[in-house]
Structure 1
Amino acid sequence: MAWWNHTVITELMFLAFPSRPELQALFFLGITIIYAAIVTGNLLILAAIQGDSRLHTPMYFFLGALSVVELSYTAAVVPQMLASSLQTRKTISFGACGAQMFFFIGLGGADCFLLAVMAYDRYVAIRHPLHYTLIMTWQLSLCLVVASLLVGFLLALDLVVLIFSLPFCGAHGIQHFFCDVPPLLWLVCAKTETHEIAVFLAGTAAILVPFVLICASYIFIAGAVLQIRSTRGRRRAFSTCSSHLVVVVLQYGCCGFVYLRPSSSFSPEQDQLLSLVYTLGTPILNPIIYTLRNGEVKGALRKALWKPVSLGVSESH
């Protein structure tokens, strides 16, 4: 019977959206503004990095890769979320739900590993400044980005295959805005203890392992910073890391709370709010944090934005 219930499912319904039309309109407007800011901010960072040769270094290569990944994983969720908010029946096909989960988890996992890579890059830059270019070669930088993507998508593939091979029965409504692991496990009509352990192990690999690597990197960074004699040198070394630390705390704090806890403590309302924080909050804060606390990026942005204006003025004359 479980097998039959599993095979007849063709769509799932999202239940987290506001039911009142005026609240739906506010939700749509708010998410649209935030998504537009995410796209604009991250595209500006990419334009600044591309347009200023001084930023053609591994540090900014990783920052650009982070922007691309965050643009991609918000694109895997937000457009569908906006479309659902305007629909009377807020449904998604079973196959589309699996595809959305695969890209969201894969790119989200890659995002976590990229933050660990960026911490290692800062460690090398501060601990071994004279050998930085010899250690952080372009070949190694590209390999680290590709490895982050591969590990993220391999973990996502395992999770999606695992969850969507389970029998779903009963109500097919998801207490969420998009397809994610915890709310889908609640729809399974079989014992899920083993699968919850697998989800926890995958979450550990994607969240806890990179976080431990980041902590180790910053322990060594702190030791190196304390050895710098000049106050100005210590301040500059810290400023290159503080932006990254803010993003790390936000990203890993929210993701760890959602994925590294037993399903018995699953709270739909709480998880819905947290999911919006790490889906929309980190991608919109990244451009703001890295721009406000990085003079080189601010200079490159001014240069990139001023060039079209100056060209237009000169052509008018």
Structure 2
Amino acid sequence: MANSRFQKVTGACALVALVVAQNAAAGPFTIKNISTTNDTETTVHIDGVAAEEFEIAYTDANGKARKTTVVTNGIGTRNVQVQAKTNTTITVTNLTQGGSSTVVASLFTPPSDIVVSAFTVDPRSELTFAGNTFALTGTFTTVDTMVDYDPASPTYGVEEGFVRDLSIEAIGSGGSVQFVLAGTPTYTLDLASVWGLEIPLGGLSIPRNMAFSGVLSYNSVSSPFDATFDGDVTFFADGSTGASGILALTTDFGPAAGTLAAAALPQIVALPEPATWLLLVPALTGLLSCRRRPPAHARSAH
């Protein structure tokens, strides 16, 4: 695909509804399922006739005018990723039969906004711990705070963020395990390898690995833990995001290992102007509290 280094995935990192305006002269095709995928790239789904040629014109994240040409597949559809600057117009023109349609792009543009992904854990996730197997349930949230759109930068394509609001419980015949994070775990995602690629039915995946620590409570007895998550984040054409991988923990009770899978519909959240921050301090207290280290927990004898 032309200009693939300037088009994209995020992200990460989001399904955001876009305004669709069909021109009066639109040809025999439609544009549907338009979303901001993985925070940083707009998915244009073209539903037309097989082997028709389309031109997609847009303004990239650096403000430059870009065009790419695609041909619909054997069943007349195409999912095209374009890294369009937020609030700019994407114009899709049918070069074969004439007519055009437009959409307005929504894009993660730090520091003006962040991307919040509230993940729900798949109940098939599980943890083997202290000789028992537990089903993992609950939620956690990732917040994307920065992404590098500059193709000349050594960190081009890198998205940064942190994890908050972890509320996961492991439940089984051996009892229950709760987790409290210590601090705010951070992560990076290298999106460059999938920017500009067409997202297949099964999604596009990139590695997501991170380390974190905290305190777990096993049947009301506490222990500190250190953990790693080694897996993938998967981006789908409808804007949803999945995360799956292997958990490994070390605790006073011995090691624990398991699998974690979760899904989210990321949302781009605008941040207020600097002048309004003071007015929002009470409302932000809850959000920022997740950055504070939890109180020390007494290490109980096993």
Please confirm whether the aligned pair reaches a TM-score higher than 0.5, indicating the same fold: no
More helix by share: 1
TM-score (normalizing by structure 2): 0.25
More strand by share: 2
Greater relative contact order (Cα < 8 A, sep 6+): 1
TM-score (normalizing by structure 1): 0.24
